[in-house]
Amino acid sequence: MDEIERIKKAMEGDERAFHELFEAYKEYSYKIAWFILNDRDDCLDCVNSSWMKIHAALIRKNFNFKSKFTTWIHAIVTNEAILAKRQAFRTIQLDDQFVKTSLGALRHDDLSMEEKVAKKISVEKVMRKLSPVQQQIVSLLLDDYSFTEIAKKLDIKPNH
């Protein structure tokens, strides 16, 4: 069965045909998501939600065969990854609690090396989701600058 036949069968509700399409394009989808998200878990979530949308769109017969199937997949995965990135930016709060829980532990000598490495990985994952200004703020916090000093250095108003 060729790709067009699989697509048509998936549009008719054939789950096996849809699964074959998914298997053929899951790595392609992951690479698109990775380009935008740079995080394994976020990419897997993005691919999963993208393919749920692709499945629903195929059932509704939204694929019109005017473009290549890969072009259509690319658009859906890209949009889903951008949406995920936007949501991540909205949910990250850079405040005292964040500093105490995520960054403060990196400064303490009473942590084991494994705990420090785990914290560092956790912080790096969060850092990738921050805006450039937020990344600068975190870096300065790690260098023991106070919020007031950071605000002066970056010429921004602290939230008090």
d(CA 130, CA 91): 10
Residue that wins the pLDDT comparison between 133 and 21: 21
Residue 8 in tokens: 């048509």
Q: Is the pTM of this model over 0.85?
A: no
pLDDT of the residue at 156:
73
Band of pLDDT at residue 61, cut at 50, 70 and 90: very high
Band of pLDDT at residue 136, cut at 50, 70 and 90: confident
pLDDT of the residue at 91:
54
Q: Please give the radius of gyration of the chain, using alpha carbons only, rounded to the nearest integer.
A: 22
pLDDT of the residue at 90:
57
> Concatenated DSSP letters for 17-85?
HHHHHHHHHHHHHHHHHHHHH--HHHHHHHHHHHHHHHHHHHHTT---SSS-HHHHHHHHHHHHHHHHH
- Non-local CB neighbours of 50 within 8 Å, separated by 6+ positions: 29, 33, 73, 76, 77, 80, 81
Q: What is the pLDDT of residues 20-35, one digit of tens each?
A: 999 999 999 999 999 9
Biggest CA–CA distance in the chain, Å, is 65
| Closest listed residue to residue 70, CA positions, set 14, 41, 27 | 27
Burial class (CB in 10 A: 0-12, 13-18, 19+), 67: exposed
The sign of the CA dihedral 117, 97, 142, 157 is positive
Residue that wins the pLDDT comparison between 7 and 157: 7
- Non-local CB neighbours of 55 within 8 Å, separated by 6+ positions: 10, 18
